[in-house]
Structure 1
Amino acid sequence: MMNYTQNNQSMKNIQLGRKKRQWRWWSVTITLFISSILLCGAMLMLGNTIYPANDVFRALLGEQLGSINFAVNTIRFPRMLAGLFAGFAFGIAGNTFQTMLRNPLANPDVLGITAGSSAAALFCILVLQTNNSIVSIVAILAGLATVVLIYGLSKGRTFSVGRLILVGIGVQAMLSAVISYLLMRGAQEDLPSAMRWLSGSLNGAQLDAVYPLMLTVFICSPIVMFLSKHLSILELGEQSATSLGLNTDRTRMLLIFASVCMIALATATTGPIAFVAFLAGPIAKRLVGSGLSTVLPAGLVGVNLVLAADLVGQFAFEIRFPVGVITGMLGAPFLLYLLIRMNRKGSL
């Protein structure tokens, strides 16, 4: 009788703990969603001229309000959409790589995937001078090719995340050299826009360039969310995931393909916004806690980081800075802290 009572109490404690984790997940996710909406509204209202929310809403509905229509529909709305979907793409993709490879350093920035897409996009912009659709396609192909190259070079008798990260850092350095060479060989009149793009910027965002990113996020992010339970199983390790009946190769390929597509299109649209993919996952895990998926919260954290950093870059200083400069200022100290902590634990 006593054993039955103890087991019953244990089950109640487990159920209570699960409900608390679910409540925390929903609270964090809803808060991040509301914060994203508020930041989107701020992006539309703030600028050289501050417009009230009512005028912004009327302009978005197509009502003719003079200069407000041009400022809101042509400049601020595409900029807001670019930041919204790029932040979401960077956040989800970075969290996917970090969770799948069980290492916070294993994100597209460090592994060189972002650099691969950047080098290809820059080649199209400076050398081929192609349109946005070609840049997007080439960026995706280059991102996938970079993944294949890194995986092939790091493959040994057994899979090692540490080896993968080291190879990725080396590939990133090589691709950075390619980017520097392209900048040296590019036409003088194209260099300012190329440098602004490389720093990660929402300036000059246009709807026709944002549409492919939006379509990719709408297609690929549900794939990652649908596989979020499998992603959590992959976090347990290769042997544990296989013993639980998971087809690890197929799941990993789907997750990598969806994530690289989002990373490549986001990079082609806004440039490589530094450290968003690196920061979003760890922040989401701290906020949500353990036991539940961090895919959607990481995407929303990415949105908040990009939009908030862009507002800070526009209005917090005398000189306007691109969004990538602000996120870089946030991410670099965290990267150093993480490296020091992992070195003390012997993880490096």
Structure 2
Amino acid sequence: MMKKPYQPMIQNSRRRRQRTVVVTLVLSLLALALSVTMLMLGNTIYPVGDVVRVLFGADVPGASFAVNTIRLPRMLAGVFAGIAFGVAGTVFQTMLRNPLANPNVIGITTGSSAAAVFGIVVLQASNTFVSIISVIGGLLTVLAIYFLSKSAAFSIGRLVLVGIGIQAMLTAVINYLLLISRQNDVGTAMRWLSGSLNGAKMETLPPLMITVALCLPVVIWLSRQLQILELGEMTATSLGVRTNQTRVLLIIASVLMLALATATTGPIAFIAFLAGPIAKRLVGDGRSTIIPAGLVGVVLVLAADLIGQFAFTARYPVGVITGMVGAPYLIFLLIRMNKKGEL
């Protein structure tokens, strides 16, 4: 019997769907394993049974304080920041059709960082107020990029160039603030700028957790339109996508997650840059990478934090480890794009 012409397409679609499910499941299990490991490891190593008992409310001498006060907030900060950075990064890379067009490069995280350093150095503000102005700084940066790059037709190149220019300006502002700051404030600002899970507290996490819980479903709901936007403005419009409305909703949801994550952990280097390409390589073409990218972000943050805490004689912030991994990849990507004539 002759096969129907559309059967190979159906089989390929089924295989891609199965691959996406398997990749998502494996990444979820890996993220869960890393989360449990973070709860177990520290100056004292507690068995899994004690950790589970503590999480269910039992009072275990020593373990209760270590897990509930130190390790659980640190782990949750890593999980939700990893989701936020990973999802926001892949949204911008997909929407702008450029792996270099991540929030770090176009200045969004730099806007949050500049506002936070201003709060630390100039205002001598509390951690709560620093988080608030960091979010405001990120949102104002997006508005500035949008209005400065706005014209009759949306231009990816114009938006990226404006973002790079604003990032350079804000980096100069950060350097100036560090130059005029007191010696004690420099250490605090530099620890925050390096990206770290140190000092995470349960009372500071609800804003990030609520934002991710509200914004992630919006991005997932728009994931199909996001895939179509990757085909180009004219194609997306001809297929019935309301490009401007979709783009605005995606940007708002992504920036809110990104700003809250930056306010909570600092700008953890390269997570937004790496998560999307890694997820796309694992899942393959033709499928949404929103959820896999968020899980990759979690895995990268938690793994980097464990490496920074326990793999060396000295302890390093998570952003230092991710920077060591991300910088070579950025160089590799630039070389590859240059060979393909994409730069």
TM-score scaled to structure 1, two decimals? 0.95
Match of 2:331 in 1: 336
Moved more, 87-96 or 58-67: 58-67
CA contact 2:132–2:263 (8 Å) conserved in 1: no
Distance 1:133 1:189 in 2: 19
SS at match of 1:191: helix
1:235 and 2:230 matched: yes
Deviations 1:89-147 (A, max 9, x none): 00000000000010001100111100001111222233223344443332233222212
Match of 1:113 in 2: 108
CA contact 1:117–1:268 (8 Å) conserved in 2: yes
SS at match of 1:325: helix
1:346 and 2:341 matched: yes
CA contact 1:274–1:325 (8 Å) conserved in 2: yes
Match of 1:71 in 2: 66
Deviations 1:293-341 (A, max 9, x none): 0000000000000000000001111111100000001111111111111
TM-score scaled to structure 2, two decimals? 0.96
Match of 2:282 in 1: 287
**% identity of equivalent residues:** 63
1:300 and 2:295 matched: yes
Match of 2:53 in 1: 58
CA contact 1:44–1:76 (8 Å) conserved in 2: yes
Distance 1:268 1:42 in 2: 25
Distance 1:305 1:181 in 2: 31
Stretches of structure 2 that go unaligned for 5 or more consecutive residues are: none
SS at match of 1:10: coil
Deviations 1:238-280 (A, max 9, x none): 0011111111111100000000000100000000000000000
Stretches of structure 1 that go unaligned for 5 or more consecutive residues are: none
Distance 1:74 1:187 in 2: 31
Question: Aligned residues, how many?
Answer: 343
Distance 1:307 1:291 in 2: 28
1:98 and 2:89 matched: no
Match of 1:29 in 2: 24
Distance 2:129 2:214 in 1: 19
2:208 partner amino acid: L
1:183 to 178, 182, 186: 178
Distance 1:104 1:117 in 2: 22
- After TM superposition, list the pairs within 5 Å mapping 1:76-225 onto structure 2: 76-155=71-150, 158-225=153-220
Distance 2:114 2:286 in 1: 38
Distance 1:58 1:131 in 2: 34
Distance 1:62 1:121 in 2: 36
Give the RMSD, CA atoms, in angstroms.
1.5
